[in-house]
Structure formats: structure tokens, C-alpha cells
Amino acid sequence: MARSTRPNILFFIMDDQRADTIHGLGNPDIATPTLDSLAEHGVYLRPYTAVPVCTPSRAEVLTGRHPFRNGCRWFDEPIRPDITLLPVALHDAGYHCCHIGKWHNDGHPAERGFHETHGVFPGCGRRGDVIGEYRGHEFAYWDNDVLVQGHSTEVLTATAIDFLQRAPQDQPWFCYIALHSPHDPRTAPAPWRDMYRGPLPPLPPNFMPEHPFDNGDMLIRDERLASFPRGHDEIRRHRADYYAMISHHDHYIGQVLHELRRLGSYDNTLIVFTSDHGLACGSHGLLGKENLYEHSVRVPLLLAGPNLPKGRRYDRDCLCGHLDLFPTLMDYLGLPPPRTCEGVSYLEVLLGSRKTIRETIGAAYRDCMRMATDGRYKLIYYPHIDRTQLFDLANDPYEINDLLTPWRRLPESRELTPALSPPQWTCIPDPNPQHNGKQVWFPLYEPALPTAEVDRVTARLRGSLLDWQKTRKIAEVQW
């Protein structure tokens, strides 16, 4: 695209939003009319984030590099200064860049390519940063000479609307809106606060009262937000408040998009909606994001804009990571990615000429978890306890059946013992009480894979994981 015709970019990034929280993409228990409409007018993917924690995952998006390759593996670790960030690349390409909301990386967005910043938090004391100690979702910051106060989602989207109304007309713009929702404390205001409290949402299909083993970080802050073992009603209340936050920000994102249409800029704007990482919120007996299950390590990604297909889903076939978003955006704009960007563009996937761009992808959490997947099978390794899990994502998307559990690998354990009645087979109770008031049982995992096939898959993914670690200079684990 020539510079004069390049589209604007309206980029929303949430905090803690799971990939399975959009009504129109398969979740009947939540209301998200704005995101449903965006999915109808664009494309949907589910990238993996390489480290499911806010600071490194945001650095991954900004740099197009894995956190172990950009310097930011954890909180308070700086992004390497020699790496070109997304806003810098767009700034250099002639975009007017505006940052609104959460930064949470080192430095200040005003020093990272953004021409203007508003409501930055955590604040650094600059004019326009969030004032004082952050409490809940109540914000206060100066926007020019006006003191802005209120719920973070509402004031930040109002600031975005103000930007749209005065955005430059003689150059394209990039507006990066980083909301804090649905991160805890989940305090949606009325009427959203009560949307899911009567009745409460059902438990997730992979609910467990406790995680079956110590994964290496069981008592981090997020995991202390509910009692041990997890109670059914308590988890359903957590999910009610979580869904309320998402429906709340869905509404206010809708207001931003309405203003974009009113101003006549909608058809020349690429809209991006994503999240830094997901959240367990009761799945696998966990509350936080600090794990490598699908609910935490995959994120929603919606893209809608000029020359993109409408109503397409690529999340089932396209294996990609958050580091690939940066080069994809540059490719879409007809611009070369900076040399420091190591992600791979999946624009050809979006345009229908390829199915995927990666054969495998990996992720890590601190020194206690490693993961590799080829899209069908997924291996998670816990080096401190030398434990490996293997899941068949095609037939077991909720990761309930670990194929390396000994009884699943023995052919004789799959045979029905005549003395046992069906409810006593190797099944687990469905914790969801909403099935017509009756207890329902998960059937035995099918298809039952031969032991030799499980061994081949495990060996292949272990090799992929070791290769992935070496190329990213992650300390090798011993198998």
C-alpha cells in the first residue's frame, strides 16, 4: 500500500481475557455483541503467548520476539534497547502514534515511539499518567487541564473517543488502547455487575477442585484469590464477575467503534482486538494465568479492516504466536519488519493462500514449566518434578485426559471389566450441575491411542521443545 492510502490502526489489548470468552465464537454463557460483530466483519485466530504473564507477553507483542530473546522474561526486566518496537516502526513509517492505558514495561511509552500518551499506568509521574496509588479499577489522571476520574474501562475508552475526534487527517494514525479489564479485582459497575449472578455461569468443563500435582508455583498471588480446594459456587461467582467485566468492556469498545463509524473512518481502519494472555478462572483447579494450559497460554485475536476477509476463522489450522502479530501488521501495511523482529507474518493465512506458518511452537513459565505443540498434540514438562503431560487437542480440547497417565497407556485398562457397571468405568464426574439436574459422566477418552504412537508423539515434541529452548537460549532441561 502507498503511504497515502495506508489504513489507520485501532489496537485494543485486554488484560487476562481467555480465548473462549466471545459469544459469537462458541461461548453461549457470555454476552459480547461488539466482539461478535467484529468477528463477523473480520478474521479470528488464537495465537500462543510465549510467557503467560502480562509484562513479558506485552513485550512479545511490542518487539515481535520471544521474551527469552528480547530481555523481558518477567516483571521489571527491561526490553533490550537495541530492539525496534512496534510503535517506533510505525512512527518511522509516518504514523501518528497514541498510547492509552496500561504500559507495564520498562521506561515510558512517550520514549518508545508514541507521540502522545494518556492514562498511563503504572504511572511514572509524567503529566497524563495515572495519579497516586492504583486501587481497583478507579482511575484519575490529567488529560491536558481536565482531571479524568472513573472506572478504568470507561475513562480510557472515553479518552480513545476524544483521540478519534481530533486525530490527524493528513497522516495515518496508530491508537494503542490497553485496558486493564478483566483483570482482578473484577469490579464491573451496575448493571453489568449483576448480569451473571442469577443464575451463575456453569463451571468450566475442565473444572477441578485442586490441580492434581504441584506445578512449581501453586501459591502465587493469583492462586490465593479462592480457597483450597476450589468450591463450585465460589468458582462460579468468580466466573460471573469475570464475564461481567468482559461484557462491560465489550460495551465501551462498541462506543469507540461507533464513533469511528460516525467520523467516517471505519472503512479505512484496521481494528485489532487481543489480550496479553488468558486465565484459568477455575479450570484445572487453578485461578491464575501462570500455567501452560490452553486457557492461559492462548489469546483471542480479531482483525478487521480493508482487504481482509469477513467472518473467517483460522484458529483451528493456523499455529502462530503473539510474536508473529508485529510482522503480520507490517506485511499487511506493505512495510518491511525491522531486522530485530523475529516473528513470521501470517498474512498469507489471512488471505487464504496458506493454512499455517508454523509446524510447532513453544512456551515457558519461569523455570518450572515448558510446553511444545504441533497444533494436534501438546506436551507440557515440569522439570522440578520430572513430570510430563501429553494432550490430544483435537479430541480433548479441554486437556482433561493426560495420555501419559499410566492407566491410559496399558491396553488392558481400556477393556470393560464385566463386573463393573458403566458409571464405574474409568470416567470422572462432570462438575457442571446444569445438565437437566442429572449427573453426567465423561466417557472414556476416544480414540485410544496405541502406546507406540504416544511414545512417537512424545519423542517428537520433546525434540521440538529442546530445539526451541536452544534457539532461545533457555536453560536446557534434563528428560
Break the chain into its structural domains and give their ranges: 3-359, 367-471
- From its phi and psi, is residue 327 left (phi > 0), alpha (psi between -120 and 50) or beta? alpha
What's residue 179's pLDDT? Answer: 97
DSSP symbol at 267: G
What's residue 197's pLDDT? Answer: 93
C-alpha distance from residue 112 to each of 83, 162, 259, 276 (Å): 11, 22, 27, 19
> Facing residues of 273 across strands?
12, 302
What pTM was computed for the model? Answer: 0.91
Place of cell 437437566: 436
Q: What's the fold here for domain 3-359? A: Alkaline Phosphatase, subunit A (3.40.720)
Q: What is the pLDDT along the chain (479 residues), one digit of tens a residue?
A: 334 579 999 999 999 999 999 999 999 999 999 999 999 999 999 999 999 999 999 999 999 999 989 999 998 899 999 999 999 999 999 999 999 999 989 999 999 999 999 999 887 778 888 887 767 799 889 888 889 899 999 999 999 999 999 999 999 999 999 999 999 999 999 999 999 999 999 999 999 999 999 999 999 999 999 999 999 999 999 999 999 999 999 999 999 999 999 999 999 999 999 999 999 999 999 999 999 999 999 999 999 999 999 999 999 999 999 999 999 999 999 999 999 999 999 999 999 999 999 999 999 999 899 999 999 999 999 999 999 999 999 999 999 999 888 655 554 433 333 333 333 333 333 334 344 444 333 445 555 677 788 889 999 999 999 888 877 665 444 33
C-alpha distance from residue 32 to each of 17, 162, 205, 246, 274 (Å): 13, 24, 21, 8, 14
What's residue 407's pLDDT? Answer: 54
Pairing of strands 312-313, 269-275: unpaired
| Buried/exposed 131-170: b ≥16 CB within 10 Å, e otherwise | beeeeebebebbbeeeebeebbbbbbbbbbbbbbeebeee
| Buried/exposed 288-321: b ≥16 CB within 10 Å, e otherwise | bbbbbbbbbbbbbbbbbbeebeeebebbeebbbb
Alpha-carbon gap, residue 57 to 346, rounded angstroms: 19
Look up residue 206 and give its three cell numbers. Answer: 475442565
Alpha-carbon gap, residue 402 to 15, rounded angstroms: 29
Look up residue 199 and give its three cell numbers. Answer: 443464575
DSSP symbol at 236: H
The length of the chain, given as a count of residues? 479
